[in-house]
Amino acid sequence: MKKTTAITRNSLSGPLDDVAADAGHLEHPPRVGFFTDTSVCIGCKACEVACKEWNLVPETGFDLLGMSFDNTGELGANSWRHVAFIEQQAPSRAPEQAKATVDLPMPSFDLPGAGSGAESRTDFRWLMSSDVCKHCTHAGCLDVCPTGALFRTEFGTVVVQQDICNGCGYCVSGCPYGVIERREGDGRAHKCTLCYDRLKGGSQPACAQACPTQSIQFGPLDELRQRAAARVDELHAGGVTEARLYGEDPNDGVGGDGAFFLLLDEPEVYGLPPDPVVPTRDLPRMWGFAGAAAGAMLTAVVAVFAGSRRP
């Protein structure tokens, strides 16, 4: 248990050492989260199934989406884990690893793969990545919730209490990642709880437990960040220079994520926003503007009346 002196003022953006304390947990365990290493994800979707089994999340219908092997589509009220599949051209490697030079064909207007045979293809790769709620340091959903249904747990995670949620949906627009959603027919907001009940029982979340290749790693966030940095170094040394972390930086727009990722391409490729910003970051500035505007209005009004006294 970590003891901290009570912080009197809740911060709205930027790095924050102790999110649980910030939320008023005076004694609490270390902040935990996920490090999802997509370089070893095999796209088995065991995380999706384990999550639904444990949390009794309803199925989402039997729709073939045609998006590679992804028939889940996106995170939502009924999909708290979502494995994205991206079929794409592989990046060219450093010169010493490059294949022997080949003659480039004449420029053409064909689509990729539209040549007559395999010789027209370039190197190919298939990226897979299991997405989840980021459990932000500054969680937009939580900050805008008017009922207190969303709260920060002692583990530093963000959880919705459905018995309090009134279905207003502010959280949906408050989330910079588009994670939280209201369930159809139920109206209330649902999302990943980082298996709050399992954490309380001393277990790890169902998805991390089910992951066969340790692509989803659970643990104290500090430790995960160290592990992730080492993994990036290892991949870079092995020539996978495109490996990068996403969401681990406490200086980003949400103060860093509780669930962060190792990606092999730009975040947009995986359907992740490149520069997520918690709406509350701009709150002081907005209040500033609003204050200035109100002041100006007041001045104008005063001026009008003052002026009217003039004969």
Partner 1 sequence: MGSNMAEAHPVGFQWVVEAKRRGAKIFHIDPRFTRTSALAHEYVPLRAGSDIAFLGGVVNYILSNDLAFRDYVVPYTNASFLIDDNYLDTEDLDGLFSGYDAETASYDPASWRYEGAPAMPEAGDRPPAEAKQHATGDQHGSGGAKLEGVSMNPPADPTLEHPRSVYQILKRHFARYTPEMVEDVCGTPKEQFLEVCKAWTANSGRERTAAVVYAVGWTQHTVGVQYIRTAAIIQLLLGNMGRPGGGIMAMRGHASIQGSTDIPTLFNLLPGYLPMPSPHEGRILEDYVSSVRGDKQKGFWRNADTYIVSLLKEYWGDAATPDNQFCFDYLPRITGDHGTYRTAMDMVDGNVFGYFLLGQNPGVGSAHGRLQRLGMANLDWMVVRDLAMIESATFWKDSPEIETGEIVPEECRTEVFFFPAASHVEKEGTFTQTQRMLQWREKAVEPKGDQRSDLWFFYHLGRRLKERLAASTRDRDRPLVDLWWDYDVHGDEPSADHVLRRISGQDIATGRQLSGYMELKADGSTLSGCWIYSGVYADGVNQANRKKPHDEQDDYALEWGWVWPYNRRILYNRASADPAGKPWSERKKCVWWDEEKGEWTGLDVPDFEKTKPPTYVPPDDAVGVEALRGDDPFIMQADGKGWLFVPSGLVDGPLPAHYEAHESPVRNPIYGQQGNPTRKVYARFDNPSNPSPPEPHTEVFPFIFTTSRLTEHHTAGGMSRWLPYLSELQPEMFVEVSPELAREQGLEHLGWATIVTSRAAIEARVMVTDRMKPLRLRERTVHQVWLPYHWGSVGLVTGDPANDLFGVSLDPNVLIQESKVATCDVQPGRRPRGKQLLEFVEGYRRRAGITVETGSHITTVGPRADNAHIENAHDGATDGEGRQ
Segment contacting partner 1 by CB under 8 A, of 6-14, 21-29, 110-118, 186-194: 110-118
The 116-155 site mask, x for binding partner 1 (CB under 8 A), equals xxxx-x--xxxxx---------------------------
Note whether 109 binds partner 1 by CB under 8 A. no
Note whether 56 binds partner 1 by CB under 8 A. no
Instruction: Name the token pair of 113.
Output: 């793969």
Segment contacting partner 1 by CB under 8 A, of 198-206, 208-216, 251-259, 286-294: 208-216
Distance CA 45, CA 27 (A): 36
| Nearer residue to partner 1 within complex by CB, 1 or 118 | 118
In a 10 Å sphere around its CB, with 0-12 CB exposed, 13-18 middle and 19+ buried, how is residue 79 labelled? buried
Distance CA 137, CA 276 (A): 12
CB–CB of 177/134 below 8 Å?
A: yes
Note whether 112 binds partner 1 by CB under 8 A. yes
Note whether 100 binds partner 1 by CB under 8 A. yes
Instruction: Name the token pair of 308.
Output: 């009217």
* Rounded to 5°, angle at Cα 189 from 188 and 193: 130
Note whether 204 binds partner 1 by CB under 8 A. no
219 beta partners: 33
Note whether 96 binds partner 1 by CB under 8 A. no
Note whether 48 binds partner 1 by CB under 8 A. yes
Q: Choose, by CB under 8 A, the member of 147, 213, 226, 299 that binds partner 1.
A: 213
* Rounded to 5°, angle at Cα 260 from 148 and 21: 40
263 beta partners: 244
Distance CA 263, CA 79 (A): 21
In a 10 Å sphere around its CB, with 0-12 CB exposed, 13-18 middle and 19+ buried, how is residue 93 labelled? middle
CB–CB of 129/112 below 8 Å?
A: no
| Nearer residue to partner 1 within complex by CB, 59 or 96 | 59
Q: Choose, by CB under 8 A, the member of 147, 214, 226, 241 that binds partner 1.
A: 214
Note whether 59 binds partner 1 by CB under 8 A. yes
Q: Choose, by CB under 8 A, the member of 7, 18, 29, 71 that binds partner 1.
A: 71
| Nearer residue to partner 1 within complex by CB, 66 or 274 | 66
Shortest distance (Å) from residue 116 CB to partner 1: 7
Shortest distance (Å) from residue 148 CB to partner 1: 32
Characterize the bridge pairing of strands 259-263 and 32-37.
parallel
| Nearer residue to partner 1 within complex by CB, 186 or 282 | 186
Site for partner 1 in 18-47 (CB under 8 A): 40, 42-46
Note whether 49 binds partner 1 by CB under 8 A. yes
| Nearer residue to partner 1 within complex by CB, 63 or 275 | 63
Note whether 277 binds partner 1 by CB under 8 A. no
Note whether 63 binds partner 1 by CB under 8 A. yes
Q: How far is CA 309 from CA 160, 303, 306, in A?
A: 57, 10, 5
Give the type of residue at 172: V
Distance CA 33, CA 259 (A): 5
Site for partner 1, rule CB under 8 A = 40, 42-46, 48-49, 52-53, 59-64, 66, 68-69, 71-72, 87, 99-100, 111-119, 121, 124-128, 212-214
